[in-house]
Structure 1
């Protein structure tokens, strides 16, 4: 099952990445400011008048303001950062046009590109993204017309740059949507996994409680000692069911830590205790569980445990005084699992329980590339056979 935290870098790494990006942007904007100052000094007339000085000061002030806002845009609401830069830029263009000293700025142009792309990406709705793109187009084209002049080449170049910024924003928006969809899919998978786990735990333990209670009722008058053993088994099964449910509920609580497991993890070593709980005295149950020295591939051992648990739960439901065998071993880099029993009630094997146990088994085995057979071998027997390839990691 995919974990949404695996797709997200650790917090320290994320902060370093964000700091590095901000530092690069700062260096780029600072370099553009230096270029703007150099170009302004070279293009300035020999004896600048008051209008020239005013235009240069306004352009420099606007360039610094929009550069700062572009740098801190991630700390501001998207609409405030985008709207602030566009408003300041449009205001600077109007002032330059009024004083009669057009003065374009590369720093301001770069800041407009950055906030246009980030604004289109961060807008919560498609309508808001379209409005952001339209406002940026007005600011960019208006700035070119007021500061340079309504020349077709300059306007087309400005529209081309604006289009590139919008395309970048749309691409980022699509990536954000895909990531959100993937996270939602992961959450749905986690909820489905929790539902299956809760079904398995409750079905296994409650079925055992019901069987033990029936046995206690049957022998209560004739053999009080056996009734006492049955009640002790009921108590143990109930306590384990409560513990399992507490662990799962703790995993989905809002105040659970980010590293808290979503489900309770099991492995092959947990199968013998499971069989002991199924048949405490091992009077009618035999088991052979071989745990390999090499580690199993992820999910193999846990799936084997859950399949055995579901199979034993079905034995309790559908068999009367069964003789049961459990065999789990690794052969030729494949995990082979078999759970069989006799004493199946007539018709119970074909009817099924109406639940999702066998379906869950099939899903787990198919996800691991294995094969599953569950059915009657003879008139009163039932067997579950599973083979999962590549069980051992080398």
Structure 2
């Protein structure tokens, strides 16, 4: 379940690790009084530092993090002596992580084993009965992590179901359009051709008029089909309104056109450009397009930065502007040209298995950030944008 929230998750883990380290270090210095040699305090502080540093990777490697923290906590208890508590803040975070990011059975196995390992060294020096509330509290931390994980998994499944429902709705809409265009015109042509066949010998003029009407109907059907295919091609084949490919490589042109239409925008590219799956390519382009359009419509053309980051296993897109949103709903900027807006962005990204965040910034302006994982590591290739203007 180790989902990655770009870019807040990694920063949040670092902040949690720093706070837990500060709390446990303060507790260590307060409890480790004169009877503990300085070298042992230094060793305990080093073990605590390693344990806190392991928390930064807790989402991606919850089991490894728990093992490192447990070993460091046992060393901390041995070096600092009985003054140290049963489980510190760093260990509590690791236990919560085991419940939050591991499957139910594995979470209980890893978390429960960790609690027992942390209890044994202290139980040797103290009455086990006095440790009962602490042990129960540690298990409750695991339970809380599992409850939070179950809640987010339920929310993820609900979002996936909503996306599936949107896809089915769009398919039904296209089916209705095809029925209206194809079935109606074909039925009309069938009737006209049948009338022409029956009147061909006894009323040639009526037969000619029927065939001419069938020809006009066929032309109308072809015109309407071309219109429908043009819309579908712009969405699914990746052709933009200006004839450019709707891919990540087109983001450079988007940023340039934004500058020409009153939005001072710049593009920053991190990492080596990669060839992306076609669905991901189109999603990146469309999210950037709608976000820049919203800046022009709702943020008075505020200065905007577009950041495109490539990694072997994911691609991320971030659009940040510095202007106060104008005339927006509470959820953020509305869709361009009356389209789906934020809902459309979220659906595009979700169909690629990614996540998106869109919210006002505390310091002002608005931020849209999409993170899309790639199915397999990809190699560098042509077609992705280079440095921005």
Distance 1:84 1:39 in 2: 23
Per-residue CA shift, 1:270-301, capped at 9, x if unaligned?
xxxxxxxxxxxxxxxxxxxxxxxxxxxx9xx9
- Give 1:23 shift: 3.0
Matching residue of 2:28: 36
Unaligned runs of 5+ in 2: 198-206, 239-277, 288-334, 340-389
User: Across the two proteins, how many residue pairs are aligned to each other?
Assistant: 239
Matching residue of 1:267: none
TM-score under structure 1 normalisation?
Answer: 0.51
2:229 is equivalent to residue 242 of structure 1: yes
2:212 is equivalent to residue 222 of structure 1: no
- Give 1:222 shift: 1.8
- Give 1:115 shift: 0.7
For the 8 Å contact 2:82–2:122, the answer to whether it is kept is no
Distance 1:203 1:135 in 2: 62
Question: What SS does the corresponding residue of 1:222 show, helix, strand or coil?
Answer: helix
Assess, with a 3 A threshold, how the Cα gap between structure 1 residues 219 and 242 changes in structure 2: closer, same or farther: farther
2:98 is equivalent to residue 119 of structure 1: yes
- Give 1:230 shift: 2.2
2:176 is equivalent to residue 191 of structure 1: no
- Give 1:21 shift: 6.5
Matching residue of 2:283: 257
Distance 1:195 1:231 in 2: 25
Per-residue CA shift, 1:355-389, capped at 9, x if unaligned?
xxxxxxxxxxxxxxxxxxxxxxxxxxxxxxxxxxx
TM-score under structure 2 normalisation?
Answer: 0.52
Distance 1:108 1:249 in 2: 54
2:79 is equivalent to residue 87 of structure 1: no
Matching residue of 1:61: 46
For the 8 Å contact 2:192–2:214, the answer to whether it is kept is yes
After TM superposition, list the pairs within 5 Å mapping 1:296-375 onto structure 2. none
After TM superposition, list the pairs within 5 Å mapping 1:126-165 onto structure 2. 126-146=104-124, 149-165=125-141
Assess, with a 3 A threshold, how the Cα gap between structure 1 residues 24 and 121 changes in structure 2: closer, same or farther: closer
For the 8 Å contact 2:21–2:49, the answer to whether it is kept is no
Question: What SS does the corresponding residue of 1:44 show, helix, strand or coil?
Answer: coil
Assess, with a 3 A threshold, how the Cα gap between structure 1 residues 107 and 57 changes in structure 2: closer, same or farther: farther
Q: Which structure has the larger Rg?
A: 1
Assess, with a 3 A threshold, how the Cα gap between structure 1 residues 27 and 92 changes in structure 2: closer, same or farther: closer
Matching residue of 2:331: none
- Give 1:166 shift: 1.3
- Give 1:249 shift: 4.0
Matching residue of 1:292: none
Question: What SS does the corresponding residue of 1:238 show, helix, strand or coil?
Answer: helix
Per-residue CA shift, 1:93-150, capped at 9, x if unaligned?
5x54xxxx72554696111100110111100x2221111222221222124225xx13
Matching residue of 1:200: 176
Distance 1:21 1:78 in 2: 12
RCO higher in 1 or 2 (8 Å CA, sep ≥ 6)? 2
Question: What SS does the corresponding residue of 2:283 show, helix, strand or coil?
Answer: coil
